[in-house]
């Protein structure tokens, strides 16, 4: 009878170990997927930074054009007097 209990316990331990191994594999898989998501998110953030930089450069350029246009209008006396 003692041998049966030992065998039964051994079978349960083997099942627990197999289940634990499956859980560990899944956890590793989820860890890898999370790392991939984080890397993708970092890439997106980097692209957004580049877009913001390009937008700022275009705004500076547009501001320069506006200043030049105002000077040209002033020299040609094309400015409309505000009421």
DSSP structure string for 1-66: -HHHHHHHHHHHHHHHHHHHHHHHHHHHHHHHHHHHHHHHHHHHHHHHHHHHHHHHHHHHHHHHHH
Query: pTM, whole model, 2 decimals?
Result: 0.62
* The pLDDT of residue 83: 45
Q: Average of pLDDT values for 34-55? A: 98
**Given pLDDT bands bounded at 50, 70 and 90, which one contains residue 78?**
confident
């Amino acid at each position: 009878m003692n041998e049966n209990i030992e065998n039964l316990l051994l079978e349960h331990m083997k099942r627990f170990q197999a289940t634990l191994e499956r859980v560990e594999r899944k956890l590793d898989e989820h860890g890898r997927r999370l790392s991939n998501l984080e890397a993708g998110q970092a890439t997106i953030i980097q692209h957004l930074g580049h877009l913001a930089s390009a937008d700022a450069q275009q705004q500076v350029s547009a501001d320069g054009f506006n200043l030049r246009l105002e000077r040209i209008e002033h020299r040609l006396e094309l400015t409309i007097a505000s009421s």
